[in-house]
Amino acid sequence: MKAILVRETGGPEKLLLEDVPVPMPGPGQALVRVSVSGVNFIDIYFRIGLYKADLPFTPGMEASGVVEAIGEGVTEVAPDDRVAYAMQRGSYAQYAVVPAWQLVKVPEKLTLDRAAAVMLQGMTAHYLTHSTFPLQQGQSCLVHAAAGGAGQMVVQLAKKRGARVIATVGSESKAELARDAGADEVILYNSQDWVAETRKLTEGKGVDVVYDSVGAATFEGSLNCLRPRGMMVTYGNASGPVPAIEPLLLNQKGSLFLTRPTLAHHCATRQELLWRAGDVLGGLASGELSLHIHKTYSLAEAGASHEDLASRRTTGKLLIDVNA
């Protein structure tokens, strides 16, 4: 089978397309014939070595496909089931072995490419808005990178919970995507002082929560956008990891709360996984949630997909058709 291997960490050129043996499922595992893999910043973090993995490895943390075979003791899925998954590395390949408990069945009305596009970012948006800071009717949030795949999902789920959404984006075309997702206010961070604008839009009070996937470039400003006892949620490193801070800073800025969550800890059981994936896939299948796919690449173009994602010029989701 064809797969991408990373034999040493570094730039996009380290994504090598190679022929490797088809893996075999062990007890509790399923072999998935991958159709589409999602492309995410976490793939870049592993490729450059920010997140550690034993070499060589195949990147990719989400995919959709069809169950080819199952190992001993598997009851969650059966051969020929259409499935999707996230948070299991190795999806930049034509076949992947996945713990069966992590696989969810794709609704009949949903295509495999759309299912793959929403698993990681959709469930991330779900835990951010439903668990990390469970938004309530009338509360407010600031969403950075609101035109990206995760950002658009955060905006939509925040609106479904009745929150007021202030979004930041880099261009007017991205502003339209954020508005289409439901953002109440959109700030162009390249031409506006987004901290001052957020304070102005909240009459000086600040927002209840900031959802920040940008990292180093926006961290301090995000703290300045919060109301007293508000929550800073930093969940990505698009501009680099957030530097260390003194806890006293949180006191000085209003007894703030700070958290750095991850999806794996919010899908730790099958029950929780089925809740989050069910809400996201079901919402997409019913039309309650919308999805914008920016571009689909081949495995040979995996490096280009990373370059495009890191450029921050893309909007919506990037995918890899592993059989193209």
Q: What is the pLDDT along the chain (324 residues), one digit of tens a residue?
A: 999 999 999 999 999 999 999 999 999 999 999 999 999 999 999 999 999 999 999 999 999 999 999 999 999 999 999 999 999 999 999 999 999 999 999 999 999 999 999 999 999 999 999 999 999 999 999 999 999 889 999 999 999 999 999 999 999 999 999 999 999 999 999 899 999 999 999 999 999 999 999 999 999 999 999 999 999 999 998 888 899 999 999 999 999 999 999 999 999 999 999 999 999 999 999 999 999 899 999 999 999 999 999 987 788 799 999 999
pLDDT number for residue 283: 96
In the chain, ranges of CATH 3.90.180.10 domains: 2-120+268-321
Residue 219 DSSP SS3: helix
pLDDT number for residue 212: 97
pLDDT number for residue 312: 77
Q: Which long-range contacts (CB under 8 A, 24 or more apart) does 239-243 make?
A: 239/214, 239/215, 240/215, 240/216, 241/50, 241/215, 241/216, 242/215, 242/216, 243/216, 243/219
Is residue 83 within 8 A of residue 103, CB to CB? The reply is yes
CA distance 174 to 144: 12
- Domain 2-120+268-321 = CATH 3.40.50.720: no
Indicate the burial class of 56 (C-beta count within 10 angstroms; 0-12, 13-18, 19 or more): middle
Phi and psi at residue 15, to the nearest 5°: -85, 100
**136-260 adopts what CATH topology?**
Rossmann fold (3.40.50)
pLDDT number for residue 147: 92
Task: Kindly report the pTM of this predicted structure.
Answer: 0.93
* H helix or E strand, kind and range, residue 239: none
pLDDT number for residue 161: 97
Q: Report the chain's C-alpha Rg in angstroms.
A: 20
Q: Across the strands, what pairs with 293?
A: 317
CA distance 125 to 164: 16
CA distance 168 to 178: 8
Per-residue buried b or exposed e for 164-191, using 16+ beta carbons within 10 Å of the residue's own CB: bbbbbbbeeebbebbbebbbbbbbebee
